[in-house]
Structure 1
């Protein structure tokens, strides 16, 4: 059973609400909330680059896969071997990987 007790707290002209949650085991958990109801200590989230999300696929070991370029148009003179090679996916190299870790901050844990 959880009881909510709220009391207003004025500090530096900013109104915050302190909620004390009392559990049935008499453990006290205190949170300071902003007037909008969000936690006062949350950091802002990073934005992922929307173009990079569409072009690069993260793998489980921290690498990224991408499609090869040059297969959309003006390729009628290419050999079948070349078009087959261009249709495969490849891994990015380490310079692109460093850039992609910044562009896609939540894609890989490594």
Structure 2
């Protein structure tokens, strides 16, 4: 499922409230286009659909969960030299760094909706 099919499903589904509001449709489209360049949305399409996506806030929460999952995967690639603390603390720090790095380009309204 590519991003156009995903957008079409998001806006035409019976329970979708995105189609009722032009601002929500515009922001959802903007968000999908923005995240499609950094995340392979095709691999997460099933997760997005299973979350419900009935309005913009639910879509943002689902996409945020996907960003957190990706941050956990990316964090495994990093190693902190001379880290003083437990392995758990190091892992949390690396995950947080990757999550913040992935959220840098997201618009302000994205954080406000969470």
TM-score bracket for this pair, using the shorter chain length: under 0.3
TM-score, length-scaled by structure 1: 0.25
Q: Whose strand fraction is larger, Structure 1's or Structure 2's?
A: 1
Bigger CA radius of gyration = 1
Q: Which has the higher helix share?
A: 2
